[in-house]
Chains A and B, each alone.
Chain A
């Protein structure tokens, strides 16, 4: 996909949940991710990183501001078009893996293309390629319950990659894994980064974020540090870029 400009743009995004009282999860957040970047978004729980992931992943819409994926403004798309956008341009990796236990690893990965309109043989062929990318091509027929946690997460990563999305969004991908497996998963992200895949990893773990190419720190719904800016912003956010 040769898209000029950033793969992901978050432009002055605010998200307010209409609860009683209303909760402002994100305040005026702006940043952009360009092609091939490996970005870590780090912050304590409640800092708004999961909300940010939901907005970046087009699973929710901002209260104010714009989110653009490969130049397409979510605001201007219908729900169906946004779904098609997810089917073709966004890959998700979740903390809980969300694999279907009744299906083989291969079919779990192939399901990543289910809504992209490809016939099953082609989905499986591409799924095998994706499993190769994460080093699981030797056990494509294994059921998720026959795999270790790390292997399961690798299947989930393969599922996110199978459609060659413009961006992969990972939500605490090592959160359910032991340290060794977590390190292996990060290694896979680094390898994919070397292959030019654009990845955004959400984590509360500063050590993990430190290993990623670019680090964005969040607190109370604001970005307080972005290593791409090379400037630390005080937690008060008084001189936060507008």
Chain B
């Protein structure tokens, strides 16, 4: 006598399940493509936001590390009464005696405004400043001359000026030619050079640089440095950092500000690379809409495919077989959408980054997350339709046509 033991429900083989999951996709291609598109747009938005911000910050970090992270800046701080404290004139020389210091250069703030000519109203100062600069400044801050030349031992004594990148732009000086001059605090100074932007010392960009001797002779400068740019030897940056205050002003170490510009820029780059909340939110909304679309399509699909479901039950499918088929179809649909979305997001990032000459950086979180998030989305959206499909009575499905 036959026992029920021979009635074993067979699991679908993975290859068969994969084939069953594609039935809806193969028979209704356009509809499948449109519903996958919803997921694709959401994933693409998220991948692109993550990719673009990572690429932008990677570009900035790259530039910073090329410029070196060992630049330290000593600036005059404030006295207890809130006035600007002056650095001693000997500060640069004293700092240079620290063993691990490779390079010391200084600038000194000169009182006075910068004008294109004496005819400009004094109120249009363009927020430019005059700085007395030492001769090795460019190398220390990691910038170079864009046009013309920098100050040298001879021109440092003469009424000669070199303009920072922003200063040149604001004054409308884009070329250097003999006789080109600007009006510095009631004295004509001849422009001999224009600098490239100084990423690590952006205060130099908006400055007109003159030699220390010329500043003292023509502009009434007292010779006190206001900023000392120090290149520490790699590996000793922290130690030098701690020594700079007491060394620059042994009497009042607390009246000295010491900073590491690269650290601030790295923090800034990281902040720039932090996810743009608004766009991520938009991506998430698109993803949600896409998921609802997939659920909607799956429910319609289940209704349309009642006879197929009934036939499968007649061929021996259990409710579980039907459930897993539709669940797999929903997961496959959103997985395809996710993959297309990752591709589109990467493409968008690559195109945008290449137009800005940035590195293309797609964080693993973005592409792996984009694909992985599609699976639970498919599972959640497919659950209700799959349960509905499994509940359909085979007799009603086959005989209510």
Contact = CB atoms under 8 A, between A and B. Distances in A.
A117 B343 CA distance: 37
B16 A114 contact: yes
A87 B4 CA distance: 14
Given A59-B313, A86-B316, A115-B315, A81 B307 contact: no
Interface in B188-244: none
Given A98-B307, A98-B311, A79 B8 contact: no
B9 A80 contact: yes
A86 B395 CA distance: 14
A92 interface: yes
Contact of A57 (B7, B9, B13, B314): B314
Given A92-B314, A98-B398, A102-B26, A71 B10 contact: no
Contacts of A59: 313-314, 394-395, 398
B321 A115 contact: yes
A112 B311 CA distance: 10
B401 interface: yes
Most buried by A among B2, B313, B314, B394: B314
Contacts of B12: 114-115
A114 B315 contact: yes
Interface in B146-189: none
Contacts of A20: none
A94 interface: yes
A72 interface: yes
Contacts of A115: 10, 12, 312, 315-318, 321
A104 interface: no
B10 A81 contact: no
Contacts of B10: 84, 87, 115-117
A194 interface: no
Interface string A76-89: 11011101111110
A101 B311 CA distance: 14
Nearest to B15: A120
A159 B2 CA distance: 25
A3 interface: yes
A116 B316 contact: yes
Given A59-B314, A119-B13, A76 B2 contact: no
A100 to B, nearest CB: 7
Interface string A50-72: 10001001011000000000111
A161 B2 CA distance: 21
- Contact residues of B: prevailing secondary structure: helix
A84 B16 contact: no
A83 B395 contact: no
A30 interface: no
A54 B400 CA distance: 13
A120 B13 CA distance: 9
**Contact size range, A:** 35 or more
Contacts of A92: 314-315
B276 interface: no
Contacts of A60: 393, 395
Contacts of B314: 57, 59, 86, 92
Nearest to A165: B316
Contacts of B11: 117
B83 interface: no
A80 B320 contact: yes
Contacts of A120: 13, 15-16
Given A59-B313, A100-B308, A101-B27, A79 B318 contact: yes
A96 interface: yes
A87 B315 contact: yes
A94 B313 contact: no
Contacts of B310: 98
Interface in B312-360: 312-321
A96 B401 CA distance: 9
Contacts of A79: 318-319
Nearest to B311: A98
A81 B4 contact: yes
B399 A77 contact: no
Contacts of B313: 59, 83, 86
22 contacts: A3-B2, A59-B314, A59-B394, A60-B393, A60-B395, A70-B2, A72-B4, A81-B9, A83-B9, A84-B8, A86-B315, A86-B316, A98-B308, A98-B311, A98-B398, A100-B23, A114-B12, A114-B312, A114-B316, A115-B12, A115-B317, A117-B8
Given A88-B316, A111-B315, A120-B15, 20 more contacts: A3-B2, A54-B399, A59-B394, A70-B2, A79-B319, A81-B9, A83-B319, A84-B7, A84-B9, A84-B10, A87-B317, A94-B311, A96-B307, A96-B401, A98-B308, A100-B23, A101-B27, A115-B312, A117-B11, A159-B315
In the A-B complex, list the 3 residue pairs whose CB atoms are closest, starting with the nearest.
Answer: A87-B316, A117-B10, A115-B316
